[in-house]
A and B are shown apart, each in its own frame.
Chain A
Amino acid sequence: MRCSHATDGFGGGHEADDHVAEGLEAAVNRDLHDTKSSAILTALTEARRGSGNAALGMVLTLIIDVNENEHYDALQAANSAAREHPCRIVTVIRRTGKSAPRLDAEIRVGQENLLGEVIVLRLYGALRDQADSIVLPMLLPDAPVLVWWPGQGPQVPSLDQLGLLAQRRVTDAAASSNPTASLRLRAQGHSPGDTDFAWTRITPWRSLLAAALDQPFDELVSGEVSAVRGNASAELLAAWLEDRLSIDVVRKATRGPGVTGVKLLTKRGEITLTRPDGRLATLMRTGQPDRAVPLPRRGTEELLAEELRRLDPDEVYNETIQCVFGNKPEAVRRQAVVAAKATAAKKDSPARKTGPAKKVAPAKKVAPAKTVGRKTTPARKTR
């Protein structure tokens, strides 16, 4: 990927053009120094014309809120996902350090492997707090907006400055220092349209498990999810199984990588899906031959592509996350029991922001407490 770097040019209006012919279409990279939104849009229109790429089939605007260090990888993943969903990618980087308010922008159009357009914004000084005013004019008309935080991300995505512009907000609990705690905070501030990569990562697991239960099965008794300690995805997977199957699911710690297995005990046997090496899984069912199936861990671009496919709120995710951490009535009751047990040990407010959550950390590792809570829960209505 070529990009001409912004020089330290002083005083506004310095623009560097860098038209590079490539095949039939010319890729256009353009740097705008100390600029504003309208100038960026004008430059974008010109760049598109210059590249001979008048395609306006873009179906959504993807905003990436990221820091300088992580922006390259995030943009790579987004470009790759954009092959499936042509979009305008607006990358917002807030530069640290003291500086006068300033906006720099890079525009990339018509590059190989890039169907949409990329705008990289760098915000300096006081402008760091005005990202929404800069991004707003860049949203495609009518098309949905998705904002993605590859890093830590805001506690309540829907109240975030950029989150407010979007109908879909994607976070990644695994990027925080304490994934389960961060997921729990998000659950409390959840609003429809929020999702987390922790959930996206387990789609293949859920798909295989759902397919396994497409076949006749005995009454389910209990379950077990094993994963590396503190894995938010495993927590969601266990909660999903508990919620949908109305059984208790024990969390078991293993050495990973990621989720390593799911076991469902039935009255007369068990259904087991194990993946010890992070690549290949085996589906075992009492009375049937073992079946191997590839179940590789998923890359960022694959996760992002799946999120871009779902532009409506994910209700099942909402229900699941509320069951683990949140305030759904039946979950609340369950939570109350867990909380009571937890507070007996440690006193802590789950709503507080300052990292203490680790301790309450629902728990997850405290399987017995969870089990007790679960039993007080009335059985879910049958579907």
Chain B
Amino acid sequence: MSPAVGEINNPLRDPRDRRLPRVAGPCGLVLFGVTGDLARKKLMPAIYDLANRGLLPPGFALVGFARRDWADEDFAEVVHDAVKQYARTPFREEVWTQLAEGFRFVPGDFDDNEAFDTLARTITDLDRVRGTGGNHAFYLSIPPKLFPVVVGQLKRSGLSAKNGNEWRRVVVEKPFGHDLKSARQLSATLNDVFPTDSVFRIDHYLGKETVQNILALRFANTLYEPIWNRSYVDHVQITMAEDIGIGGRAGYYDGIGAARDVIQNHLLQLLALVTMEEPVNFAAQSLRLEKTKVLSAVRIPSNLAAYTARGQYAAGWQGGEKVLGYLDEDGIPKTSKTETYAAIKLEVDTRRWAGVPFYLRAGKRLGRRVTEVALMFQRAPHLPFTSTATEELGQNALVIRIQPDEGVTLRFGSKVPGTAMEVRDVNMDFAYGESFTESSPEAYERLILDVLLGDPPLFPRHEEVELSWEILDPIEEHWARGAQPEPYRSGGWGPESANAMLARDGRVWRRP
């Protein structure tokens, strides 16, 4: 992943000199939606952590925009509290003081022309006082329905226009639409003002070290590639389980559901990284090429009733705590058909993966919080042991643990000590926390820095987003025609129909 600063031939940079970090050039970030949870818990701390690690340019500026009657100092205090509470790196006064000098706040509504004119003046002023050099990123940490008005304002007030070598970028969070049509609309809205290369879609999963490690695991080693295909892999299970309910997100979640919320983006991106062919290099273009290629080869089952499953969590006890059912949650209509659990079977029509099923599942209020990719290998074609000796032997498995407890587990059979020959499954474990820094950078640090550097490999482009909607749309349509999702016990591992779906293929979900 080459730094995008390369237009200038910098004699002080040398690819061999890996002590030197990539530092963003002069720039500023404008944050819309500063009062949101994401801004407070992730974005502001990440900006401080970047500053603390010396990766932000001198004179970096952060402008907040919201409907609050705040002065710059009030905004600084909000950021200060967020940083104190959530930052990963220790609080250092001198770092903070420098950073805080670049804070500005512009109060106003999104449809308020004057407020955006003030914002434009603020930014011009920052270029002069702080030396942000006309380079600004606009982070839209706001509901997607507000994108058109904000983007329109950016255009009207001239904020999206750049001179010469300056850059203007726009950053958006998921959801990237709720189906193919709306995703295209969103792209059209953004592209109307910002060119495709200036639009950064954040899928924070792609910023995670463990997700990037999938590429290292596959393409830096000789050990796995020979068995990474249909000859050895029996099937693959991709799981994203959350132990929490929808919390205060009723307004967002109802009508969206588990499949749109996480399968469309996170799980299909994981699927793409696990199944794609080797890219010729790690440039954004090459990675995207391989990912879109494999996503376009994904096939959904013809019998959607048999090979998809969905459920809603029911009231009950989860880990010793009494919890509400989905339909009892605040703001959820009693008749809601939104699923909080979704499982689907997919196939990848390539020579490498023909006939290997991929089972994807995502849900809320499941047994524990875990995201993982498990490659389940075929059983040995012949066992020279008596059947009693291998009764406890399962399938070999390679499990990539995305979160928490990031790492890789290899499961294989081993002889139980004793006189008789008896084989049982054991684990061989690699944990990030044990071998590398225990506090690896937050995904948002990496992603914000990449936006400021203009380094795009970790951001899905509209092609990938659209391809994943093409996969999901027929399934959503099938579900929309169907009945109420099946209720499942909170704190368990999902509805019975999901188990039945695997049982049809003679398989079972692994307990993650």
Contacts and interface: CB of A to CB of B under 8 A. Distances in A.
Interface of A: 55-59, 83-86, 115, 200, 203-204, 206-211, 213-217, 241, 244-246, 279-281, 283, 285, 288-289, 291-294, 296, 306, 310, 314-316, 382-383
A207 B55 CA distance: 9
B23 A208 contact: yes
A330 B438 CA distance: 44
B430 interface: yes
B371 to A, nearest CB: 21
Contact of A214 (B10, B92, B431, B437): B10
Given A207-B20, A214-B10, A294-B95, 8 more contacts: A55-B431, A83-B437, A210-B10, A211-B25, A214-B13, A291-B57, A294-B94, A310-B18
Interface string B429-443: 011011111100000
B25 A115 contact: no
The residue in A57, A84, A280, A306 that gathers the most chain B C-beta atoms within 10 A of its C-beta is: A57
Contacts of A285: 131
Given A59-B435, A289-B130, A294 B98 contact: yes
A216 B8 CA distance: 7
A294 B98 CA distance: 7
B92 A294 contact: yes
A59 B430 CA distance: 11
Contacts of A310: 18-19
B58 A293 contact: yes
Interface in B394-451: 430-431, 433-438
Interface of B: 5, 8-14, 16-21, 23-26, 54, 57-59, 92, 94-95, 98, 101, 128-131, 133, 165, 430-431, 433-438
Nearest to A279: B94
A210 B12 contact: yes
24 contacts: A58-B435, A59-B435, A115-B434, A200-B19, A207-B20, A207-B54, A208-B23, A209-B12, A211-B25, A213-B11, A213-B12, A214-B25, A216-B165, A246-B11, A279-B94, A289-B59, A291-B130, A292-B58, A292-B98, A293-B98, A294-B54, A316-B14, A316-B16, A383-B11
A27 B350 CA distance: 53
B224 to A, nearest CB: 19
Secondary structure of the B contact surface, majority rule: loop
A204 B54 contact: yes
Given A59-B435, A209-B12, A294-B94, A215 B25 contact: yes
**Which of B8, B10, B436 neighbours the largest number of chain A CB atoms within 10 Å of its CB?**
B10
A214 B23 contact: yes
A210 B11 CA distance: 8
A211 B11 CA distance: 11
B437 A291 contact: no
B20 A206 contact: yes
A310 B18 CA distance: 8
B101 A214 contact: no
Contact of B9 (A83, A316, A383): A383
B10 A208 contact: no
Contact of A211 (B23, B133, B433): B23
B94 A314 contact: no
A280 B94 contact: yes
**Nearest 4 A/B pairs, CB to CB:** A57-B434, A291-B59, A291-B58, A293-B58
Contacts of A211: 23-25, 57
B21 A207 contact: yes
A181 B58 CA distance: 35
A297 to B, nearest CB: 12
The interface centre, meaning the residue of A56, A59, A293 with most chain B CB atoms within 10 A of its CB, is A293
Given A206-B12, A208-B58, A210-B12, A55 B434 contact: yes
Contacts of A383: 9, 11, 14
B393 to A, nearest CB: 24
Q: Considering residues B16, B17, B430, B436, which has the most beta carbons from chain A within 10 angstroms of its beta carbon?
A: B17
Contacts of A56: 434
B132 to A, nearest CB: 9
Contacts of A283: 58-59
B110 to A, nearest CB: 30
Contacts of A207: 19-21, 23, 54
Contact of B8 (A85, A208, A214): A214
A117 to B, nearest CB: 13
Contacts of A215: 8, 25-26, 133
B14 A214 contact: no
B410 to A, nearest CB: 15
A314 B16 CA distance: 8
Contact of B435 (A86, A281, A293, A306): A86
Contacts of A203: 19-20
Nearest to A217: B8
Contacts of B14: 244, 316, 383
B12 A244 contact: yes
B127 to A, nearest CB: 9
A89 to B, nearest CB: 16
A294 B57 CA distance: 11
A85 B58 contact: no
A209 B131 CA distance: 16
Contacts of B129: 289
Nearest to A246: B11
A6 B434 CA distance: 31
A246 B12 CA distance: 11
A56 to B, nearest CB: 8
Nearest to A243: B11
A314 B10 contact: no
